[in-house]
Amino acid sequence: MSRPRTRRDDVVETLHGHQVEDPYRWLEDPDSDETRAWVQAQNAHTREHLDALPAREWFGPTMEAIVRRPRAGTPDKVAGRYVVSRSDGRTQQSVWWVADSLEDLRAGGGRVLLDPNTFSEDGTSSLVDYSASKDDRWLSYLVSDGGSDWNSIHRLDLTNGETVAEVLTKVKFSQVTWLPDHRSFVYQYFPTEGSGVGTETAALPVAELRVHRLDTPQEDDELLLSFPQDATVMSWPELSHDGRWLSVMVLRGSSEDNRLWVLPVRTDDGRTVIGDPVKVVDEAVARWEPVRFDGDRLLVRTDHEAPMGRVVSIDLRSLPGTGVPPLVDVVPEQASALIDATAVGQEILTVHLVDAQPAVSRHSLDGRGLGGVDVPGGSVTAVHGDVGDHEVFIGTTSVTRASTAYRLDLTSGQVTELTGLEPEGDSSWAPPAVVAERRRATSADGTEVPYFLLRPEGAPTGPRPTLLYGYGGFNIPELAQYRPVFAGWLSAGGVVVIANLRGGGEYGSEWHDAGRLARKPNVFTDFAAVGDHLVAEGVTTHAQLALHGGSNGGLLVGATVNRRPDLAAVALPAVGVMDMLRFHLFTVGRAWVSDFGSPEDPEMFEVLRAYSPLHNLEKGAVYPATLVTTGDHDDRVVPGHSFKYTAALQRAQGGDAPVLARIETSTGHSLGKPLSVVAAETADVLAFAAAHTGLVPGRPQG
């Protein structure tokens, strides 16, 4: 099979005194006929290779069985009733069911509330979020088509179950925040010149926080907040439980530091009116996330003067006007990172990470500790509860189990695992028993880099094919959580390693800061250190190691391979940010400047240019077997990143290992992928990794 050839143009730009070639820029247009033909040719070449892999026949049905295993989500309450998502494995998307009691849900009862499989014929449209009006009349829900970040807002009449004709469009990075009159809500709108579909690549315009009155034209919506002087600013609103305040986190891109405003809310003659903002904190010096209002106190999760995070109280009656107001500890900073604080009942539920493993605790509003909550799992995926209610639903995952739900009774403190929520279906695949260890590598500067080492129970010792997964960015923690790729690789007898790299959120804001901006290269060094440590410890060999990561993790794989092409036999960059000199020009890319820095800044340009995966390939170098994956509707990290990187790597490859691109159509960054797509894509990725690391599924390795 000959490698595909890609047309090269003579595109050269002078950037900060450097001549930068960009011969594949034409691939940035996903809708051009030439790009579509290129995608078709690449997919045909890739399909020919993947279909010939001996392990594909095993991974195909195995991944189908894994992703189609019946499952249920974490229960929630809507209009006083109990709601849960269910997948019986037969449909592409989960279905949301509602019942009058939790007992009915656990007995398999209830009725369908929302069925996303009816949103589109091919099952590529998905439910993003939902929110009920406080009078229990309306349920708004957000729909994504083809995995796009663009959403449309729809509305269901809960009194009769009928869908209202009114639909709002051009919505992104938003939820629906219902106001106390039950006839209006707040949402985030982007006045794009396009139609708001997943293949559009233009940079987003200035966001608008709007108020929509039901059954009025969307163009008549009231503009509540906008920041035209900075197109990276977005807003995240929340209505207080008593309906008196609308809190707004004013966010600049993906930065963890934000401003916090609160707007007074009143309802006159059945119409809610929102007043002028009170600027609680108007300097983005830390994270300020509202937890709840308690009279004139505002409880906030923050990392101000507390890198591991804490919950503090702010007196709204005595704000200084400028700077940071006086803070009173409610949940003081601990030795472990605080990643969530939720107001439930008359208390606060917190989630800390103890060496990257979640610990849930209860606290009174005055800060008294009320004890821990025993909910086993590698990550906490959901905390559903309301102020004034006595029950809380908590969802967890492990590397081989997609979800487990628990009910916490705040009155008694009793925790109950909620069995029986799953529908009937094919349960032929049984999650393998897994042995988990915590180990630590040492990075080049002496920093300890922890990682999870996961082996199938009973597997022989000795070097074995190993999948090393990492992310390392945007303060996002990587935990021992469920991913189909982990379940499939472990089922085949391989080893999974999840690295806790600098730049992530496992160990507080200082750990994040140590892996961003000019310190971003620390992340790549950490990843390589873990790989080398696995080899030194006899877990694997360089010839048995596969590197995997998505989005910022795709960048991680690409940059690491450029620096250390000898580190691994396989590279699996998914939906990666590969062009670090142009990422800010597309869709929401300029929001990432908080972590990456701006290519328009001469100093940061030098840093970015030095590790950009696209710009640091060496022609004739021997690179690992590489399978690049992306989707043509990815409007988070536009597919042009992966397209250009694939073309450049195919040209640069001096060895015999294949360089392939698997490009999914009608899917995006990962949002709402149909089960059939998840199964097929994961089977291809793992069969490719197995072929080039020596993993034979079902055969003892070692």
Backbone CA torsion sign across 319, 325, 330, 336: positive
Instruction: Name the residue with tokens 């699996």.
Output: 572
CA distance 67 to 58: 15
Please check whether residue 512 is in contact with residue 503, taking contact to mean a CB–CB distance below 8 angstroms.
yes
548 among known catalytic residues: no
Q: Which one of the listed residues 304, 352, 533, 669 is annotated catalytic?
A: 669
Q: Could you tell me if residue 607 is left (phi over 0), alpha (psi between -120 and 50 degrees) or otherwise beta?
A: alpha
Closest CA to 470 of 548, 522, 406: 548
Our CA dihedral for 51, 53, 54, 59, rounded to 10 degrees, sits at -70
CA distance 383 to 386: 10
CA distance 394 to 362: 13
Please check whether residue 490 is in contact with residue 400, taking contact to mean a CB–CB distance below 8 angstroms.
yes
Backbone phi, psi, residue 564, to 5°: -135, 70
Query: 449: how many CB neighbours lie within 10 A of its CB?
Result: 24
Please check whether residue 9 is in contact with residue 618, taking contact to mean a CB–CB distance below 8 angstroms.
no
CA distance 686 to 490: 11
CA distance 63 to 679: 5
CA distance 389 to 444: 50
Residue 294 bridge partners (DSSP): 297
Q: Which one of the listed residues 551, 612, 642, 666 is annotated catalytic?
A: 551
533 among known catalytic residues: no
- Burial of 452-462, coded b for 16+ CB within 10 Å and e otherwise, reads bbbbbeebeee
Question: Catalytic residue positions?
Answer: 551, 669
